[in-house]
């Protein structure tokens, strides 16, 4: 620190220059200089702060606040939208499911009705065929039975002729065959 001795009027003296200097904060000679400097510095700082610095920093803070609020609102809006979409999707899914069930039921009923009808016609056809077949069997049996009588008569006549050497009376053979067939 330079020992700058006060020049004119002993202003701005420093301690230890021979005579006892007063306590620095109470040296009246320095008051005017300090006041002028303080006034200039304080007014300059006030102008810088109030005109430039505070509006700038305040705007930064406000912008950030607005941005945060905007982002939150946007997020809320998107969330609402996605909730609505989810709800719509679920509703669609439920509707589709019930429609699918309805279609399934309808188809099943239709198919079962169709198959039932088909079965019925088939059964009818089959039973008709069965009846026909039974009839044919009965006729065939009858024919066969009548053929058996003829064959039996011929066979009996032939047996009698071989045994007796005399051709038997056809009537007598027939009545005998009839009697044995009955018996």
Partner 1 sequence: MAADPIHQFEIHKLFTIGHIGGQEIAFTNSSAYMFATVAVISLLMLATGRQLVPGRMQSVAEISYEFVASMLRSSAGSAGMKFFPLVFTLFMFICVSNLIGIIPYTFTVSSHLIVTVALALLVFFIVLFYGLYKNGLKFFKLFVPSGVPIYILPLVVFIEVISFFLKPVSHSVRLFANMLAGHIALKVFASFVGMLGALGFVGWLGAVLPLGLTIALTALELLVAFLQAYVFAILTCIYLNDAIHPGH
If the CB atoms of residues 35 and 114 are measured against partner 1, the closer one turns out to be 35
Residues that bind partner 1 (CB under 8 A): 1-2, 4, 6, 8-9, 11-12, 14-16, 23-27, 29-39, 41-42, 44-46, 48-50, 52-54, 56-61, 63-64, 67
If the CB atoms of residues 54 and 117 are measured against partner 1, the closer one turns out to be 54
Facing residues of 19 across strands? 17
- C-beta separation of 6 from 28 below 8 A: no
User: Percent helix, strand and coil across the chain, each rounded to 5?
Assistant: 85, 0, 15
If the CB atoms of residues 66 and 148 are measured against partner 1, the closer one turns out to be 66
User: Rounded to the nearest whole angstrom, what is the least distance from the CB of residue 98 to partner 1 in the complex?
Assistant: 50
User: Rounded to the nearest whole angstrom, what is the least distance from the CB of residue 77 to partner 1 in the complex?
Assistant: 21
- C-beta separation of 6 from 13 below 8 A: yes
């Amino acid at each position: 620190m330079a020992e700058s001795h006060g020049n004119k009027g002993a202003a701005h003296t420093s301690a230890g220059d021979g005579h006892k200097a007063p306590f620095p904060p109470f040296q009246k000679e320095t008051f005017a200089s300090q006041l002028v400097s303080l006034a200039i510095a304080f007014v300059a700082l006030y102008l810088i702060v109030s005109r430039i610095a505070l509006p700038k920093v305040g705007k930064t803070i406000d912008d950030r606040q607005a941005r945060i609020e905007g982002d939150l609102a946007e997020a809320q809006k998107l969330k609402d939208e996605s909730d609505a979409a989810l709800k719509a999707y679920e509703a669609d899914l439920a509707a589709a499911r019930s429609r699918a069930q309805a279609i399934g039921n309808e188809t099943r009923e239709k198919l079962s009705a169709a198959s039932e009808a088909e079965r019925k016609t088939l059964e009818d056809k089959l039973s008709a065929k069965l009846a026909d077949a039974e009839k044919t069997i009965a006729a065939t049996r009858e024919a066969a039975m009548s053929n058996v009588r003829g064959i039996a008569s011929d066979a009996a006549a032939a047996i009698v002729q071989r045994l007796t050497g005399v051709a038997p009376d056809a009537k007598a053979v027939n009545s005998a065959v009839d009697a044995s067939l009955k018996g």
